[in-house]
């Protein structure tokens, strides 16, 4: 019986205390270590995006099958973040549980979010540069189905309405933070990977918006458009790329999606579970 208890997954009440402890540890991390781990997370999520873009390049698959494969392959990113160890802005919205419990100050919370967000951006942009230099966007039939798919993804994200992007961001990070929340119950690496797969596959398949992933997806489209215009003219002249601009990236997508991610992760997941398991109890419970 004792051995059985040691290998059983943690129950939600125990997960809440684990989340509180992890959140406090993340907030107290030295800035340089935090930033370096955030750069890694930006790169890890970008690798998941590279995988997802490549596996769905072309138009041969039914829509649902294509979205399912995109979601499954994108899981690579969060698996690397959780198992290998890295600091991801969207997942760190769960630090709000420790903040609401009084274990993390508002200043420490915001410090973590700002440093990690910037580190994620650096990691994503660095991966964009490396992938562009590799010429990977030219792979596939007709000399570039991967690149066409990358441009389609980037342009579609920039064409979202502001309110729509917020709503899609809310739904996305509710699922991402639920995935991270589920990993707090895990006893093994396999447990963590299985916990991640379904929520992440769901958000990608449904078309929800993830700010760190978009740092890669949209920047990749911008870089292809800016630095290889002759390839774009030859292989993607039929695509509407008018919204694929720096403003479209930063203002029309990244800003509202980040707002939505914070609401979805910090409010709909972190504060809800804090309220259920960690809030101070009065006589009424």
Higher pLDDT, 5 or 233: 233
Give a yes or no: residue 1 inside a domain: no
Q: What is the per-residue pLDDT for 194?
A: 97
Give a yes or no: residue 107 inside a domain: yes
Give a yes or no: residue 2 inside a domain: no
**pLDDT tens-digit map of 131-146:** 999 999 999 988 899 9
* pLDDT tier at 1, thresholds 50, 70, 90: very low
The range of the structural domain enclosing residue 26 comes to 9-278
pTM: 0.95
Give a yes or no: residue 3 inside a domain: no
Give the total number of structural domains in the chain. Answer: 1
Give a yes or no: residue 219 inside a domain: yes
Question: Residue 185 above 90 pLDDT?
Answer: yes
The mean predicted confidence, pLDDT, of the chain is: 95
Q: What is the per-residue pLDDT for 130?
A: 98
| Mean pLDDT score, 259-266 | 98
What is the domain-level CATH number for residue 117?
A: 1.20.1080.10
Q: What is the per-residue pLDDT for 169?
A: 98
**pLDDT tens-digit map of 246-260:** 999 999 999 999 999
**pLDDT tens-digit map of 4-28:** 556 688 999 999 999 999 999 999 9
Give the pair of three-digit tokens for residue 150. 């990358």
């Amino acid at each position: 019986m004792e051995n059985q208890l040691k290998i059983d997954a943690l129950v939600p009440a125990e997960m809440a205390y684990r989340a509180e402890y992890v959140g406090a540890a993340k907030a107290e991390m030295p800035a340089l270590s935090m930033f370096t781990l955030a750069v890694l997370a930006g790169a890890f999520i970008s690798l998941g995006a590279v995988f997802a873009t490549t596996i769905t390049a072309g138009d041969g698959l039914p829509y649902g099958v294509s979205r399912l494969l995109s979601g499954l392959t994108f899981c690579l990113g969060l698996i690397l973040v959780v198992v290998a160890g890295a600091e991801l802005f969207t997942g760190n919205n769960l630090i709000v549980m420790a903040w609401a419990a009084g274990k993390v100050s508002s200043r420490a919370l915001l410090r973590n979010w700002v440093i990690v967000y910037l580190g994620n951006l650096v990691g994503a942009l660095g991966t964009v540069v490396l992938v562009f230099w590799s010429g990977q966007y030219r792979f596939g039939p007709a000399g570039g189905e991967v690149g066409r798919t990358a441009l389609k993804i980037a342009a579609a994200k920039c064409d979202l309405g502001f309110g729509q992007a917020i709503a899609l961001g809310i739904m996305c990070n509710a699922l991402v933070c639920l995935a991270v929340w589920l990993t707090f119950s895990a006893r093994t690496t396999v447990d963590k990977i299985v916990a991640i797969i379904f929520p992440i596959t769901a958000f990608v398949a449904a078309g929800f918006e993830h700010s760190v992933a978009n740092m890669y997806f949209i920047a990749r489209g911008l870089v292809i458009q800016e630095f290889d215009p002759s390839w774009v003219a030859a292989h993607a002249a039929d695509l509407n790329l008018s919204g694929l601009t720096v403003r479209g990236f930063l203002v029309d997508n990244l800003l509202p999606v980040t707002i939505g991610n914070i609401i979805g992760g910090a409010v709909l997941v972190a504060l809800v579970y804090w309220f259920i398991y960690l809030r101070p109890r009065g006589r009424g419970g």
